[in-house]
Structure 1
Amino acid sequence: MTLTELKYIVAVAREKHFGRGAEACHVSQPTLSVAIKKLEEELQVKLFERNANEITVTPLGEEIVRQAQSVLEQADSIREIARRGKDPLAGSLRLGVIYTIGPYLLPDLVRQIIEKTPQMPLMLQENFTVKLLEELRTGEIDCAILAEPFPDTNLAIAPLYDEPFMAAVPSSHPLAARTSVTAEELKKETLLLLGTGHCFRDHVLEVCPEFARFSTSAEGISKSFEGSSLETIKHMVAAGMGITLVPRLGVPKSALALSGQDTSADQPSYIRYLPFEGHVPTRRVVLAWRRSFTRYEAIAALRNAIYACELPGVIRLS
C-alpha cells in the first residue's frame, strides 16, 4: 500500500469516474486502474462498483476512502513541518483574537502581514477569551491576542500595548458638552454593557471601581443593558439609550474632533467620545502562545506586524 494508491482511490471516489480521477492525478487511466486493482487485491475487498455509466463506492470502500483522506492529510502535515524547519515563517499561522479587539486591529494587521511576511498567511478566529484559551491548550490555534487579566494557563505571554478607555455618551446628553469626564460622574447613568462571557464587561467593572461598587447598589447605576457587541452598544448610545465605555482603538477617527484630539476630522452627529480625567481606566493587550510552540520567528514576525500597525492612542510595550 502506497500514498500514491491512496491518492488514486480518493480521487476516483470524489470524481466517481476513473478517467476524471486519472486526470485529476495527472496519470493515465490504465496506470490508475492497475494501481487501484492492486490495492483491492492486497486488501481483499472491493472498493468500487463499476458499471457503464458511473462508479460508486462500496460501503466498506467509503470507510477506507475516509481513512485514506486522513492519511494523506497527515502526510501533508509532515511536509509542512519540514518546510517550516527550513523557513519558520513558511506556512500559515492560526491566530485567535477576542471580539473587542478583532474589528479594530485585524484589518491593519492583515495588511501588514501580507506586506512583511506574505509566506505566512493568517488563519483568523474571533472568540471569547475562555474559548481561545481552550483552543490554545488543545492546539487548535497557535497564538491569541487577549486582554489581561485571564486565568493563568502556563502560556508564554508578550505584552503588546496598554489601551485606555473612553466614555461614549449620546451627543444630546448633558455630558456631551464636556471635554472630559470622571468615573464618578458616570455612576448614576444608564450603563450599557457587553453580555456575560465578554471579557471587556469584566474589564470595565474591574478597572472602574466606581462601576464595580455601584453596580449592585440602589443608589448606583440606575439600570443597565447587555449587548452582543460593542458596535451594537454604540448604536444604542447613539439612540440615546445610555452611556458606555469603549477601548481607544474602537473610537472612530472622525469622532476625535469633538474631543480636541483630531481637528481635521469631520464631527460626528450622534456620539461624543470623552477621555477620562485623573485615573484613566486601561486594559493591557498581550500576545499568548503555548510554551511548546517552536515557531519563535513566526511569533516575533506577528508581534512586529502588530507594532507596525497605526494603534492610535495606545501605549506600546516592549
Structure 2
Amino acid sequence: MLAKLEMFIALAREQHFGRAAESLGITQPTLSTGIKQLEDQLGVQLVRRGSRFGGLTPEGQRALNWARQIVGDARRLREEMRFSREGLAGQLRLAVIPTALTWASRLAAGFSKRHPNVSFTVLSRNSIDILTMLDNLEIDAGLSYLDNEPLGRVSTVELYRESYTLVCTPDHPLADRTAIGWRDLAGSRLCLLTPDMQNRRIINTAFRAAGCDPAAQMESNSTVVLVSHVATGDWVTVLPGDLATFLAAGKGLKIVPIRAETPGHAVGLVAPWQEPHTPVLQALLDEAGELAVR
C-alpha cells in the first residue's frame, strides 16, 4: 500500500496523471492502476475522473492527510534504521527563499564538515512554494520567513533578521550617503523581485508606509538578474545586506543601508513538526542553532 500512497500524493501534488507518473518514473497506466487499487482497498473514490484529472473527492482530501502522515512516518523509520546501521548519512533536500541563499550555503557547508556522509540538494523557491513542498514531502526543510505569513505546525530555528540596503552604481546621487530612508528612493529606476516573492511584499509595505510608490520598472525572480541590471548603470535595487554584499562583490557597486523603524523580519529554518525528528533532520536543526545570529 505504501507505494500506492506515494502515487496518490504525487497525483494530488501534480494534479495531472501524466506529470505525476513522470515525477515517479512510472508509466501513466501504472499510476492509474495503482490509484484504482488504492480506492478498492479503502472502499471509497479518491479522485474525480473525466477526460482529465478532476480533483480529489472529500474522501480523497481526508485520505491525503493520512497518506502524507503514513508516508512521512515510513520515511522517518527508514532514516532511523539507516542511522543505526551507518550513522548519519543520506540526503537533505532544502528549499530556500532567494534572499537567503547565502545563508543556505553557510548552513550546508557547516553541516557537511560535521557530517560528510550527508549530501545536499538546495533549491531556490518562494515562501509559499516552500510550505507546499513541505506538505507534499518534496523537501526535508526550508529557509524562509518565520513571522510574516502563517507557517502551520512546523519546527523553526531563527537564523537572522533582515536589514535592507540600496545597491547602486558609484555615480548614483545616493551612493555617498551613510544611510537613507525609503522615501529617498522615490523616483529611482527600481528593479525588484517579482510580486510572488514575500521579500517583494515586505519591500512594497515599507515603501507604502513611507508614502512612496513601490512600482518597479523591471522585475525578476532572480537576485542575480537584479544586480546585473544595476551594474549596467541605469538601475537600483533593494536587497538584504548580506546578500547585497555577496552579489555586489568585485562589481564596483555601492551598498547603502536603509534605515528601519522596527526590527527586520525573521528568517530561519523551517522543518515539519515531528516527535522525534529523524537523526539527520535533528542534526540540521542543531546546526542552524549554532549558526544563528544571537
Shorter-chain TM band: 0.5 to 0.7
1:306–1:223 Cα change, 3 Å: closer
AA matched with 2:93? R
1:282–1:79 Cα change, 3 Å: closer
Structure 2 residue matching 1:100: 3-state secondary structure: helix
Unmatched tracts of structure 1, length 5 or more: 1-61, 68-73, 216-220, 257-265, 310-314
Question: TM-score if structure 1 supplies the norm length?
Answer: 0.60
AA matched with 1:291? W
AA matched with 1:101? A
Structure 2 residue matching 1:251: 3-state secondary structure: helix
Query: How many residues align structurally?
Result: 224
1:291–1:86 Cα change, 3 Å: farther
Q: Following the alignment from structure 1 to structure 2, what is the Cα–Cα distance between the partners of residues 223 and 145? A: 26
Aligned residues of 2:186 and 2:212 also touching (Cα < 8 A): yes
Structure 2 residue matching 1:236: 3-state secondary structure: helix
Q: Following the alignment from structure 2 to structure 1, what is the Cα–Cα distance between the partners of residues 206 and 278? A: 32
How far residue 192 of structure 1 moved from its aligned partner, in angstroms, is 1.6
Structure 1 residue matching 2:175: 3-state secondary structure: helix
Question: TM-score if structure 2 supplies the norm length?
Answer: 0.64
Aligned residues of 2:269 and 2:288 also touching (Cα < 8 A): no
Q: Which runs of 4+ in 1 moved over 6 A?
A: none
1:281–1:166 Cα change, 3 Å: farther
Aligned residues of 1:165 and 1:275 also touching (Cα < 8 A): yes
How far residue 80 of structure 1 moved from its aligned partner, in angstroms, is 4.2
Unmatched tracts of structure 2, length 5 or more: 1-28, 35-70
Determine which of 228, 239, 243 is the counterpart of 1:246: 239
Q: Which residue of 2 aligns with 1:99?
A: 98
AA matched with 1:226? E
Q: Is residue 279 from structure 1 mapped to residue 277 from structure 2 by the alignment?
A: no
Q: Following the alignment from structure 1 to structure 2, what is the Cα–Cα distance between the partners of residues 277 and 115? A: 37
Q: Is residue 83 from structure 1 mapped to residue 82 from structure 2 by the alignment?
A: yes
Q: Following the alignment from structure 1 to structure 2, what is the Cα–Cα distance between the partners of residues 143 and 123? A: 11
Q: Is residue 236 from structure 1 mapped to residue 225 from structure 2 by the alignment?
A: no
How far residue 101 of structure 1 moved from its aligned partner, in angstroms, is 1.6
Aligned residues of 1:165 and 1:281 also touching (Cα < 8 A): no
Q: Following the alignment from structure 1 to structure 2, what is the Cα–Cα distance between the partners of residues 210 and 188? A: 16
Structure 1 residue matching 2:99: 3-state secondary structure: coil
Q: Which residue of 2 aligns with 1:119?
A: 117
Q: Which residue of 1 aligns with 2:191?
A: 192
Matches within 5 A, 1:148-297: 148=146, 149-210=148-209, 213-215=211-213, 224-252=217-245, 268-269=251-252, 271-277=253-259, 279=261, 282-292=264-274, 294-295=276-277, 297=279
Q: Which has the larger radius of gyration?
A: 1
Identity of aligned residues (%): 22
1:293–1:95 Cα change, 3 Å: farther
CA offset digits 1:1-23 (Å, max 9, x no partner): xxxxxxxxxxxxxxxxxxxxxxx
